[in-house]
Amino acid sequence: MEERKKKRIAILGSTGSIGTQTLDVVRRHPDRYEVYAICAHRSVDLLIEQARAFHPEVVCIADESLYSTLRDALQDMPVKVWSGADAIAQMVTMPSIDVVVAAMVGYAGLRPTIEAIKAGKTIALANKETLVVAGEIICRLALEHHTPILPVDSEHSAIFQSLVGEDKNEIEKILLTASGGPFRTFTLDQMRSVTASDALKHPNWDMGAKITIDSASMMNKGFEVIEAKWLFGVPVEKIQVLVHPQSIVHSAVQFTDGAIKAQLGAPDMRLPIQYALSFPERLAADFPRADLFSLGSLTFEKPDLERFPNLRLAYEAMQRGGNMPCVLNAANEVVNLAFRQGRCGFLQMSDIISTTMAKADFIGKPTYEDYVATDAVARQIAEELI
C-alpha cells in the first residue's frame, strides 16, 4: 500500500541540468517519489545510466537514430524503450503518471506539455518556451482540464511562494530578479568580441548551454517576463526586472499596500524543483543555505536595454501579442545555436531577432497550427539572415 502513495514522475529532458537535478531530488526522497518515465534528446549514454539507476517503466529517446543503441543496452531490463516525438507525446499521457516535469529545452517541449495537460497531469514546468510560444493556449487548456502548473524556474517559484496565502490580494508589481550574467559590467565594445566559451561562464548558476547563453544575452529574462505574465495573470507593464548580481533574492511581489514579499535562498535549482514536487509541503533537505551574514549586502540595478536589447525585444513581442513571442523564440533558438557554433557574433543575435520579428507575418489570434507554421517560417528567416 505504501508504494501506491508515491508520486509517479515522468521527466522530459532527464539528461539536462533540470532533469538530472530532479533525479537527485527523487533519490533523496525514495519514500515519496518514483521515476516512471524518462526521455532525452540525444544523450543516450547518460539516459542508459539513468535507466539502470532508477528502473523506470518507459525510457524514450527523441532522436530515432539512437533507438537501437538504447534498446540493445537495456535489453536485459523489463523496460519499454521508445523513440521519436510521437512517442514522447504518448508517454506523458500514460495513466500511471502523476507529475510531468517539463524540462526539455526549447520549442520541442511544447507538444508533449500540451498532451500532458490534456491528460490531466500535474505539470512541473521548467520549459520556458512552452508559455513563451503558446501561453494563451496553455493557460486555456490548463483551466479546461483542471491541470495544475507549478513553476520550477527559480524566479517563478519565488513569485509562486510569495503568493501563497495571498489569493484575494491584488498584485501591484512583480519584481523579477536577474543575475546580469557574465557580461553585466562589459561595455558594448567589449561585448562585440565575446565568444561562446566566455558566455558559458555563468557567475552563479549551473545550467545547460542554451539557457546559459540566453542568460548572458538576457533573453532568458525576457522569456521569464512573458512566462510570468501567463503564470500569474499580470500584464507585462506590472513586471519589473531588477539586476541582482548575488542571486539570493530569487524574485518578489509588491502588493497594493506597498508591502513586498520575496523568497531568498542559495542559488540551487534543487530547491524550486523539490518545492514543485512536494507543494504544498516543504520537505527537509540538506541543500546549501544562504548565509546572509557572510554576504554582507544585497544590491539591485536597473537593466541596461542598450547593452542587452533582447529584454526590450521580449517586452515588445509580448505587447504585440499573437504569434510574435513565437517568432521571438524561434529566431532566438536559431541565433543561440549559431553563436555557440561560431557562426554569428554576440551582439548580432539581437539584430537578427529584431529583423526576423519585422519580417515575419503577424497573426493576432493564432491556433496551434499557426504556431507550428510561424516557428518554421521564423527559423528560416533567421537562418537566412546569419
Other beta carbons within 10 angstroms of residue 291's beta carbon come to 10
pLDDT in tens, 41-50: 999 999 999 9
Pairing mode of beta strands 249-255, 171-178: antiparallel
Q: Which amino acid is it at 236?
A: V
Cell of 77: 531490463
Give the confidence band of 205 by pLDDT, cuts at 50, 70, 90: low
3-state SS, the chain, equals CHHHHCEEEEEECCCCHHHHHHHHHHHHCCCCEEEEEEEECCCHHHHHHHHHHHCCCEEEECCHHHHHHHHHHCCCCCCEEEECHHHHHHHCCCCCCCEEEECCCCHHHHHHHHHHHHCCCEEEECCHHHHHHHHHHHHHHHHHCCCCEEECCHHHHHHHHHHCCCCCCCEEEEEEEECCCCCCCCCHHHHHCCCHHHHCCCCCCCCCHHHHHHHHHCHHHHHHHHHHHHHHCCCHHHEEEEECCCCCEEEEEEECCCCEEEEECCCCCHHHHHHHHHCCCCCCCCCCCCCHHHHCCCCCECCCCCCCHHHHHHHHHHHHCCCHHHHHHHHHHHHHHHHHCCCCCHHHHHHHHHHHHHHCCCCCCCCHHHHHHHHHHHHHHHHHHC
pLDDT at 207: 65
Q: What number is the average pLDDT over the span 311-327?
A: 95
Other beta carbons within 10 angstroms of residue 314's beta carbon come to 27
Rounded (5°) CA angle 114-110-357: 130
Q: What number is the average pLDDT over the span 334-355?
A: 94
pLDDT in tens, 229-259: 999 999 999 999 999 999 999 999 999 999 9
Of the candidates 168, 164, 195, the one whose C-alpha atom is nearest the C-alpha of residue 182 is 195
Percent of the chain's residues with pLDDT above 70: 97
Pairing mode of beta strands 239-243, 171-178: parallel
Q: Find out whether 91 and 9 touch, Cβ atoms under 8 Å.
A: no
Say which CATH topology domain 321-386 has.
Answer: Rna Polymerase Sigma Factor; Chain: A (1.10.1740)
Q: Is 271 exposed, middle or buried (0-12, 13-18, 19+ CB in 10 A)?
A: buried
Chain-centre distance for alpha carbon 65: 26
We find that the CATH architecture of domain 2-151 is: 3-Layer(aba) Sandwich (3.40)
Provide CB contacts within 8 A for 251, sequence distance 6+.
154, 155, 156, 158, 159, 162, 174, 175, 176, 177, 262, 263
Give the confidence band of 198 by pLDDT, cuts at 50, 70, 90: confident
Q: What is the CA radius of gyration of the chain?
A: 20
- Domain ranges for the chain, please list them: 2-151, 156-267+288-305, 321-386
pLDDT in tens, 268-308: 999 999 999 999 999 999 999 999 888 889 999 999 999 99
Cell of 192: 562585440
pLDDT at 2: 45
